[in-house]
Amino acid sequence: MAAYVIAGIDVTNKDDYRVYAEQTVESAKKVGGKFLVKGGLQTVIEGEAPSRHVVIEFPDRETAENWYHSDEYQAILPIALRSSERTIVIVEGF
Protein backbone atom coordinates (compact mmCIF):
# COMPACT_ATOMS: atom_id res chain seq x y z
CA MET A 1 0.00 0.00 0.00
CA ALA A 2 1.39 3.40 -0.95
CA ALA A 3 2.41 5.81 1.77
CA TYR A 4 2.65 9.58 1.60
CA VAL A 5 4.97 11.92 3.43
CA ILE A 6 2.91 15.08 3.90
CA ALA A 7 4.62 18.23 5.12
CA GLY A 8 3.16 21.60 6.10
CA ILE A 9 5.98 24.14 6.07
CA ASP A 10 6.62 27.78 6.86
CA VAL A 11 10.06 28.71 5.52
CA THR A 12 11.97 31.13 7.75
CA ASN A 13 15.21 31.35 5.72
CA LYS A 14 14.64 30.96 1.97
CA ASP A 15 18.29 30.72 0.92
CA ASP A 16 19.14 28.08 3.52
CA TYR A 17 15.95 26.13 2.83
CA ARG A 18 16.68 26.06 -0.90
CA VAL A 19 19.88 24.11 -0.19
CA TYR A 20 17.83 21.51 1.72
CA ALA A 21 15.03 21.32 -0.86
CA GLU A 22 17.41 20.72 -3.76
CA GLN A 23 18.92 17.70 -2.02
CA THR A 24 15.63 16.25 -0.77
CA VAL A 25 14.27 15.49 -4.23
CA GLU A 26 17.25 13.36 -5.24
CA SER A 27 17.38 11.46 -1.95
CA ALA A 28 13.69 10.53 -2.17
CA LYS A 29 13.95 9.49 -5.84
CA LYS A 30 16.75 7.04 -4.99
CA VAL A 31 14.32 4.93 -2.94
CA GLY A 32 11.28 5.26 -5.19
CA GLY A 33 9.83 8.48 -3.79
CA LYS A 34 7.83 10.66 -6.15
CA PHE A 35 7.02 14.30 -5.41
CA LEU A 36 3.34 14.92 -6.07
CA VAL A 37 3.21 18.40 -4.52
CA LYS A 38 6.18 20.70 -3.89
CA GLY A 39 5.05 24.16 -2.94
CA GLY A 40 2.78 25.65 -5.57
CA LEU A 41 -0.18 27.97 -5.43
CA GLN A 42 -2.63 27.04 -2.69
CA THR A 43 -6.02 28.24 -1.55
CA VAL A 44 -7.00 27.70 2.07
CA ILE A 45 -10.71 26.86 2.18
CA GLU A 46 -10.99 25.95 5.89
CA GLY A 47 -8.92 26.80 8.93
CA GLU A 48 -5.32 27.97 8.91
CA ALA A 49 -2.50 26.49 6.87
CA PRO A 50 1.25 26.87 6.54
CA SER A 51 2.53 28.72 3.50
CA ARG A 52 3.89 25.62 1.76
CA HIS A 53 2.91 21.97 1.39
CA VAL A 54 4.85 18.98 0.10
CA VAL A 55 3.50 15.51 -0.67
CA ILE A 56 5.86 12.66 -1.53
CA GLU A 57 4.51 9.26 -2.57
CA PHE A 58 6.47 6.14 -1.58
CA PRO A 59 5.73 2.52 -2.47
CA ASP A 60 4.89 1.71 1.17
CA ARG A 61 5.20 2.94 4.76
CA GLU A 62 8.44 1.07 5.39
CA THR A 63 10.15 2.76 2.45
CA ALA A 64 8.91 6.20 3.58
CA GLU A 65 10.13 5.65 7.14
CA ASN A 66 13.46 4.22 5.99
CA TRP A 67 13.99 7.23 3.71
CA TYR A 68 13.28 9.68 6.55
CA HIS A 69 15.67 7.85 8.90
CA SER A 70 18.36 7.24 6.25
CA ASP A 71 21.85 8.63 6.75
CA GLU A 72 21.48 10.69 3.56
CA TYR A 73 18.27 12.41 4.67
CA GLN A 74 19.40 12.84 8.28
CA ALA A 75 22.52 14.63 7.01
CA ILE A 76 20.39 17.39 5.42
CA LEU A 77 17.60 17.46 8.01
CA PRO A 78 19.38 20.03 10.24
CA ILE A 79 19.19 22.52 7.36
CA ALA A 80 15.41 22.14 7.23
CA LEU A 81 15.03 22.37 10.99
CA ARG A 82 16.96 25.63 11.23
CA SER A 83 15.33 27.25 8.19
CA SER A 84 11.67 26.32 8.62
CA GLU A 85 8.84 25.48 10.97
CA ARG A 86 7.07 22.33 9.89
CA THR A 87 4.84 19.41 10.61
CA ILE A 88 5.42 16.12 8.82
CA VAL A 89 3.27 12.99 8.83
CA ILE A 90 3.30 9.68 7.00
CA VAL A 91 -0.14 8.59 5.82
CA GLU A 92 -1.01 5.28 4.16
CA GLY A 93 -3.14 5.54 1.08
CA PHE A 94 -4.02 3.80 -2.16
Residue 31 pLDDT class (50, 70, 90 cuts): very high
For the whole model, what pTM was predicted?
0.92
pLDDT score at 46 = 97
Torsion of CA 60, 63, 69, 70, to 10 degrees: -160
Q: Each residue of 36-94: pLDDT tens digit?
A: 999 889 999 999 999 999 999 999 999 999 999 999 999 999 999 999 999 999 999 98
CATH code where residue 38 lies: 3.30.70.100
pLDDT score at 6 = 98
Residues paired with 34 in a beta bridge:
57
- Which structural domain range is residue 59 located in? 3-92
Residue 86 near residue 50 (C-beta atoms within 8 A): yes
Total structural domains within the chain: 1
Q: Each residue of 17-30: pLDDT tens digit?
A: 999 999 999 999 99
pLDDT score at 2 = 97
pLDDT score at 94 = 83
Q: What is the largest CA-CA distance in the chain?
A: 38
pLDDT score at 93 = 92
Q: Smallest Cα–Cα separation from 93: which of 36, 25, 28, 41?
A: 36
